[in-house]
Amino acid sequence: MLIWPTPTLEEAKKAYLEAVKTNLDDYIDRQIASRETPIMDKRMFYSGWVDFLDLPPYALEKIVNVEMGVPTEPFPYGNGYAIAQVLDIHRKGISTEELKHGSRREKIKRRLFNIKADSIVHAVMDSMLTPLDIRVRGLVVEDLSMPLYQWFQHGLPDKRSLFDLLDQPSDSSRPYLQSINSMLDETLVASRFKNYKVKDFLSYADYFRKNLHESQSAEDFHRRLITEIGRMVKNDIFINQAVKEDFEDSLRISEDLRQWEQKWTYELYRNKLVLDVKVSEEEVKQYFQTRWRELGIADVDTTRFYKYKNDVFNAVLHEKQQARIDQDVQELRRKYDVWINEDLLRSISVVDSLLGQQTTYFLRKNFNFKAYSPTVDIKWLGF
């Protein structure tokens, strides 16, 4: 498919009305050509082959009956909306045997469950958010976007609140700080629930900077800014609803919070143990030369050390860190009655494999084997 994402439903509707005049392929070409300097590569809008089981129900609903080569109507996509166009369909039947047993059956079973769950989530979201008539003040977003982008480019205060610099701007402060400071009390979002000011968003951005940090240009930053504003409002409304219904006092929530506390205590202690663990260039080269098969790469890749250097470094570092932790646990066992609650570990809900149930699970992305940090519950990676 071709997919054209937009941050708002209004922009998706405008794109749809333009795209149906010819097709989405032509519309994207026109959008790229209209830029004074090209900032997009058309290849980024191709989805590749997508299994229909992996499509969210609200997207599949728009795509399943659309004529090939004709743009779809807008549908929710990521944190915004999108229109799409089917370029080709690879039809592959599912045998009766696959429906009875095997990995295909399990995949279908999980996807059908997720489809039902996604439908419920979106129905709940629509029922809660639509009546609130949430409106983002476009002019305020425009005024905020550039100075905030400049601040991100220059560098935000590390491990300090954004308001440390905004509360007392000096005469010599950079212009972008003065601009942002003058806007703090302006209404950014209006709704029947409550109004949000610029300073409310900056309070949110104090903790949620990652998405904005990853922007590639001022225009990309502006799109991400709108997305983050919407996410802030949605989360605030849902949290308020949960508090009203006393969800925060439920045993399940309390238990989750307790596990979170244990997780971060573990992570902090683990980090302290391995701070002085180092990896030399010789160790990295030796690992690649003798243990390259553990990286999940083909024989032809064994000459391309430069391509996998970071992956090898991470693998060696993790191995040395794990050895240090094991050694420290052995030292503790000599002094204290240390034991591992295997029953508790196996009761944690994680990815399907037994390895996934271990506290020091080492998650890697498919295909490129890039490592994530160890975690107790893989679902926590979504936060």
Q: Chain-centre distance of CA 296, in angstroms?
A: 25
The pLDDT, as a whole number, for residue 95 is 78
Residue of 177, 156, 157, 155 whose CA lies nearest to 166: 177
Residue of 187, 204, 80 whose CA lies nearest to 143: 187
Does the pLDDT of residue 83 top 80, yes or no? Answer: yes
Give the residue-averaged pLDDT of 53-67.
Answer: 76
For residues 26 and 173, the model is more confident at 26
For residues 240 and 378, the model is more confident at 240
Cα-based torsion angle of the residue sequence 65, 70, 74, 76 in order, rounded to the nearest 10 degrees: 60
pTM comes to: 0.50
pLDDT tens, 264-308? Answer: 777 777 778 888 888 899 999 898 888 888 877 777 677 788 888
The pLDDT, as a whole number, for residue 373 is 41
Does the pLDDT of residue 319 top 50, yes or no? Answer: yes
Give the residue-averaged pLDDT of 21-43.
Answer: 79
Highest mean pLDDT of the ranges 31-45, 224-238, 266-280: 224-238
Highest mean pLDDT of the ranges 16-25, 88-97, 248-257, 356-365: 16-25
Q: How far lies 16's CA from each of 20, 71, 75, 141, in Å?
A: 6, 7, 11, 24
Give me the percent of the chain exceeding a pLDDT of 70. Answer: 85
Could you list the beta-strand ranges (E) of 167-267: 187-190, 196-197
Residue of 357, 324, 356 whose CA lies nearest to 342: 357
Residue 85's DSSP bridge partners are 2
For residues 264 and 321, the model is more confident at 321
Does the pLDDT of residue 361 top 50, yes or no? Answer: no
Helices and strands, number each (H, E), in the chain: 15, 6
Spatial distance between the Cα atoms of 137 and 218, rounded to a whole number of angstroms? 19
Residue pair 81/11 in contact (Cβ under 8 Å)? The answer is: yes
Spatial distance between the Cα atoms of 314 and 46, rounded to a whole number of angstroms? 31
The pLDDT, as a whole number, for residue 378 is 43
In three-state secondary structure terms, 377 is coil
Does the pLDDT of residue 365 top 50, yes or no? Answer: no
Does the pLDDT of residue 17 top 90, yes or no? Answer: yes
Spatial distance between the Cα atoms of 25 and 278, rounded to a whole number of angstroms? 50
As a whole number of Å, the CA-based R_g of the chain is: 25
The tokens describing 143, both together, are 């005024």
The pLDDT, as a whole number, for residue 348 is 63
pLDDT tens, 203-214? Answer: 888 888 888 888
pLDDT tens, 112-149? Answer: 787 777 777 777 777 888 788 888 888 898 899 999 99
Residue pair 359/262 in contact (Cβ under 8 Å)? The answer is: no
Spatial distance between the Cα atoms of 98 and 109, rounded to a whole number of angstroms? 11
For residues 328 and 377, the model is more confident at 328
Handedness of CA 372, 376, 382, 383 (dihedral sign): negative
Give the residue-averaged pLDDT of 182-188.
Answer: 91
Give the residue-averaged pLDDT of 51-78.
Answer: 80
The pLDDT, as a whole number, for residue 169 is 57
> Strand 75-77 and strand 196-197: pairing?
unpaired
Give the residue-averaged pLDDT of 76-89.
Answer: 84
